[in-house]
Amino acid sequence: MTKSVLISGASIAGLTMAYWMRQYGYKVTVIEIGPAPRMGGSPIDVRGDSLDTARRMGVLDAIKAAKLQTKGLEFMNADGEVEGMMRVEEIGAIRPGDDTEIRRDDLVNILYGNAKDGISYRFNNRIIALTQSEDQVSVTLSDGSINLYDFVIGADGIHSGVRKLVFGPEEQFSHFLNFYFSVFPVDVRLGKKNYGQMYTTPTNLVMVYLYNEDCADGFLAFRVNEKINYNRNDIEAQKRIVIEAFKDIGWKVPQLIDELKNADAFYFDQGCQIKMPTWTNGRVALIGDAGYAPAFPTGMGSTLAIQGATVLADAMAEVADYKVAFQKYNETFRPTVDALQATVYDGLSFLLPETQEAINIRNKGSR
């Protein structure tokens, strides 16, 4: 009989997994809490081994065609003067010249277009209950339906519902990195085309990135000593947190705060990593941010999502016994995850130096 798999999350990890499971002969269903594949977010990088995977999937040419023409990152002072600049090839490159920065929406659309045929998508839906037996998983969805699957894959992000149902509360696995960040669209006149412009204090990071004629993002991050309590569903309260954190910061912050206040698309979250002793439990497995979010300062979230899904799918195709396949996934992909997660502190030191002296050294040493 054809085996069935339910994938929770229609984003980068989930869409990659859906493609491979269909290729390997599974009956694939993807559920997504939103009305369409998960869009939004700043441009992302496709790097290293994920480029080889994209070639295997037949989407590398499409990814390369959508590559952004980013030239570099400019370090600004409070008076709007450029103190230093780094070319894009100098910023965390794994394969200089091959690493590809792309709009997140473009990558999601490419992966979705590649994983449409023969796959059932159920949008505006989520898992609300899950029960495992030796031979199958019974899943109850928010639309009231109950279905049986051979496997369930959680690809539902850093605040994964599948992880909570099967592995336990998020607090067990979330490692706070003592900063918060927000991303929102801004007026293109605040940016410089094909550049990110960054202003930093020892506690705050401000960046405007204009990556084509009509798309610019504002990015605000700030360090804290302890977690802030807030309602994840109250966007206005989250905006107030950011406004308070940036009330005395210069450069273009007043204009960015005005943009933030009126932004319909606004994302706010803590900087954290997800670390788990195992990414599998019975017939359920986690991929991408649900299992091993590396945090944005690594620049490797998308790469880990693509590669993790591929490693798991390949293992399930190569080994008949799913328990052996899951063990292989846990063991073979662990060194990659650990190594990339460990780079987060270098990334934080670069983006948010903790002293003015360190900021000056970074800015003026990058000319």
What are the pLDDT digits (tens) for 50-100?
Answer: 999 999 999 999 999 999 998 999 999 999 999 999 988 777 655 666 788
Could you say which residues of the chain have pLDDT below 50? none
Please report, for residues 105, 170, 275, 294, the alpha-carbon distance to residue 173 in angstroms, rounded to integers and kept in the order given: 28, 6, 5, 12
Encoded tokens for 225: 């000593």
Kindly state the helix (H) or strand (E) to which residue 141 belongs, with its residue range. Answer: strand 137-141
Q: In this structure, how many other beta carbons lie within 10 angstroms of the beta carbon of residue 89?
A: 13
pLDDT for 367: 53
pTM of the model: 0.94
Asked if 137 and 267 count as a contact pair (C-beta separation under 8 A), the reply is: no
Asked if 46 and 102 count as a contact pair (C-beta separation under 8 A), the reply is: yes
pLDDT for 92: 66
Which residues share a beta bridge with 119? 28
Please report, for residues 74, 124, 133, 152, 276, the alpha-carbon distance to residue 38 in angstroms, rounded to integers and kept in the order given: 30, 11, 31, 19, 24
Kindly state the helix (H) or strand (E) to which residue 27 belongs, with its residue range. Answer: strand 27-32
Helices (H), the chain: 12-23, 49-57, 60-65, 104-114, 161-166, 235-245, 253-262, 289-292, 301-318, 322-341, 344-351, 356-365
What whole-number distance in Å separates Cα of residue 203 and Cα of residue 219? 14
